[in-house]
Amino acid sequence: MFAFGIGLASYSSRGDILDVYYPTPAKDLDAQLSKLLTSRAPADDALSPEQTSRLADALLDAGHARLGSAARLLAEADRPLCWTELDEDRPIETTTQAYLKLHLLSHRCALPNSLNLDGIFAALPNVAWSSQGPIGIADIDERLVRARIEGAPIIVHSLDKFPRMTDYVIPSGVRIADASRIRLGAYLGEGTTVMHEGFINFNAGAIGPNMVEGRISQGVMLGAGTDLGGGASTMGTLSGGGNITISIGENCLIGANAGTGIPLGDRCTIEAGLYITAGTPVELLDDARESVRTVKARELAGESDLLFIRNARTGTVECRTNRSAIQLNEQLHAHN
């Protein structure tokens, strides 16, 4: 079995699923566990509390403490639970499948760009994320009026297809200054610090430890020890319909208000305020800072030990060998 989860769903007044919470999603299950789950799969993908309790006992007896303990807690719910299993990594067809895959990413069960997320936007409904949980868009106006009448106004945090990650997953060893800027489906490795202006989209993240003060777009991954400066950004693939996956290697520094539209290897630096796109003309310099030739930045994609700067006199973007890699403060990123 490729992936599995037992989840607690929220519904609109019309019975449409708004979201699903999977406390312990599992990926790449072994044959024994797959057989145990298959033998107890419900006919309609819905588990009653009694079925969940029996499943918890079976999992615990078989030595699967993590899944069994979670099932034991979920058995206390007074409504049926979602049973979601994936035999293989196919395109997404349902809301339950979409939420299972987003949970797998944020639970660190899968790295960004390793799951088939085709169809995810069609499967996810737009939702009013509020202080009273998810509310269907068609229901929100009436709910707001009723809440005011009852003297307990609802605070609507966002109208979006993706909720914030920390309402579902709390990764170990991370620090997040503003949780609203981290979407479910983001991957945050141990030691990652995300400051107030840092943003991490779904299917994107940082391997850890990392300092994130800028934007990590969908599909982008930061290598260990890399610092994304304040206001810096990485070019994703969604908006322009491109197919180039942007990644940044280890021990890189993307300066404040800088950015990149090409993949970078290890120990690369882009000076503050400089945005490198695939078509940016770059003058290559040798160790004596003499011009060698001019290339499009795409020709340097994935290379390591590069230092990109803009010549203050001519405005030309220059690149030479980076002689020093950054080092993150170990105490700053030890989030115990």
Condensed to tens digits (0 to 9), the pLDDT of residues 203-226 reads 999 999 999 999 999 999 999 999
The answer to whether 281 touches 318, Cβ cutoff 8 Å, is: no
Q: Does residue 6 sit in helix, strand or coil?
A: strand
Model pLDDT for residues 12-71, shown as the tens digit of each residue: 999 999 999 999 999 999 999 999 999 999 988 899 999 999 999 999 999 999 999 999
| Predicted confidence (pLDDT) at residue 77 exceeds the cutoff of 80 | yes
Please report, for the chain, the start and end positions of each structural domain, with discontinuous segments joined by +: 3-88, 128-160, 165-321
How far apart, in whole angstroms, are the C-alpha atoms of residue 133 and residue 201? 21
Q: If pLDDT is split at 50, 70 and 90, which confidence band does 245 have? A: confident
pLDDT in tens, 248-260: 999 999 999 999 9
d(CA 131, CA 273): 38
Architecture of domain 3-88: 2-Layer Sandwich (3.30)
H-only helix segments in 250-333 = none
Res 255: pLDDT = 96
Quick one: pLDDT at residue 325? 61
Per CATH, the number for 165-321 is 2.160.10.10
Q: Is the pLDDT of residue 241 over 90?
A: no
Q: How many CB atoms lie within 10 A of CB 205?
A: 27
Average pLDDT, the chain: 93
Q: What is the pLDDT of residue 331?
A: 45
What is the pTM for the complete model shown?
0.92
Alpha helices in the chain (DSSP H): 31-39, 49-61, 65-74, 95-106, 120-123, 140-149
Known catalytic residues?
213
Work out the average pLDDT over 297-301.
94
pLDDT > 90? residue 178:
yes
The domain defined by 128-160 carries CATH number 3.40.600: no
Q: 328 or 296, which is more confident?
A: 296
For residues 95-99, give the mean pLDDT: 98
The predicted-structure confidence for 136-156, as pLDDT tens digits, reads as follows 999 999 999 999 999 999 999
pLDDT greater at residue 241 or residue 333: 333
Supply the pLDDT for residue 328.
57
Mean pLDDT score, 74-88? 93
State yes or no: pLDDT of 332 exceeds 60: no
> How close are the terminal C-alpha atoms of the chain, in Å?
34
